[in-house]
Every structure is written in structure tokens, then in C-alpha cells.
């Protein structure tokens, strides 16, 4: 387990159904290891994890980086991540990934009474 990282788990009560990690580093932060158990996908769990990770990152970094598996690129695009460079093979697993970035300062609704 990496020191200084936030490890975020989604659980059903009995089992872990999702996980994501946020690692700070200078002015940027990195998301990695995002995964939702196959039987729990497309139910909003990945979005819920990513929302917490991006909100947390906004408090400690200017921008957020990740390497997305190519299938997951549309998922991250929905959150405003943009592709940086061309797809390439990841260092460790040698699978095709796309580096992506997000300006971590969120655009939030605010209100004012007049
Ligand atoms: C990518 C992943 C984390 C998404 O988790 P999830 O809980 O299924 O995501 P959500 O239910 O919050 O999806 C929200 C939206 O993102 C998009 N999306 C999610 N997975 C997608 C996929 N595989 N392909 C295209 N769009 C996808 C869809 O628009 C989806 O909305 P919809 O279901 O209403 O169409 C999950 O599919 C996963 O664990 N995949 C395998 C591991 C992986 O690729 N991890 C990412 C490594 S970088």
C-alpha cells in the first residue's frame, strides 16, 4: 500500500465491489487502480468513486492525471478528462492505455439570494 495515497473502497456490506486510489504528487495528483467488480458495473459505482477522488484531488492539486484502459476512455471523458498524447503500452502490464488529464478545480453550482 502506497503511503500518502487515498484508498477508496465501495462495498455492499459483505463484499468489496469497487476501488480507486488517489496519489498526490507536487501540484498534480494521480488516479490509479480504478475498478468495479464485473457484476456491479454500469450502476454508477465507478462514477461515485471518481466523484469522491476528483473532489478530494481538487483540495490538494491543480490537475489530475491517469492512464485509462482504452475501454474506459468514454467513462473518464464524462468527467471532463481529456486525452494527452497517443495511446501506448503501460509500463508494468504492457496493456494499451491512454493518458488523460483533468483540471482539478471543479466547476460547482453556487447560488446567491437577491
Ligand atoms: C471503467 C469502470 C471503472 C466504470 O465503472 P462503472 O461503475 O461501470 O461506471 P458507471 O456505472 O459509473 O458508468 C457511468 C457512465 O460511464 C460510461 N461508461 C462506463 N463504462 C463504460 C464502458 N466500458 N464503455 C463505455 N462507456 C462506459 C457510460 O456512459 C456510463 O453511463 P451509462 O451506464 O448510463 O451508459 C468499470 O467499467 C471497470 O472497472 N472496468 C474494468 C477496469 C477498468 O477499465 N478500469 C479503468 C482502468 S483506468
Which three cell numbers mark 47?
462514477
| CATH classification of the domain holding 45 | 3.40.630.30
Domain presence at residue 1:
no
Structural domain that includes position 87: 6-103
Domain presence at residue 111:
no
pTM confidence score: 0.90
Domain presence at residue 114:
no
Domain presence at residue 110:
no
Q: Tell me how many domains the chain contains.
A: 1
Domain presence at residue 46:
yes
Q: Closest residue (by CA) to atom 29 of ligand 1?
A: 75
pLDDT digits 0-9 by tens, 63-100: 999 999 999 999 999 999 999 999 999 988 899 999 99
pLDDT computed for residue 1 by the predictor: 56
Q: DSSP letter for 57, please.
A: H
Q: Closest residue (by CA) to atom 19 of ligand 1?
A: 75
pLDDT at 37 over 60: yes
Ligand 1: which residues within 6 Å by Cβ? 34-36, 41-47, 68-69, 71-72, 74-75, 78
pLDDT digits 0-9 by tens, 13-30: 889 999 999 998 878 899
pLDDT at 113 over 60: yes
Domain presence at residue 21:
yes
Amino acid at each position: 500500500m502506497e503511503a500518502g495515497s487515498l484508498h477508496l473502497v465501495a462495498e455492499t456490506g459483505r463484499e468489496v465491489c469497487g476501488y480507486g486510489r488517489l496519489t498526490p504528487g507536487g501540484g498534480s495528483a494521480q488516479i490509479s487502480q480504478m475498478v468495479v467488480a464485473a457484476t456491479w458495473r454500469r450502476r454508477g459505482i465507478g462514477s461515485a468513486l471518481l466523484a469522491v477522488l476528483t473532489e478530494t484531488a481538487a483540495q490538494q492539486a491543480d490537475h489530475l492525471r491517469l492512464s485509462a484502459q482504452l475501454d474506459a476512455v468514454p467513462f473518464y471523458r464524462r468527467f471532463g478528462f481529456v486525452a494527452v498524447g497517443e495511446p501506448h503500452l503501460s509500463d508494468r502490464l504492457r496493456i494499451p492505455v491512454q493518458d488523460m488529464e483533468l483540471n482539478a478545480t471543479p466547476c460547482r453550482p453556487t447560488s446567491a439570494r437577491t
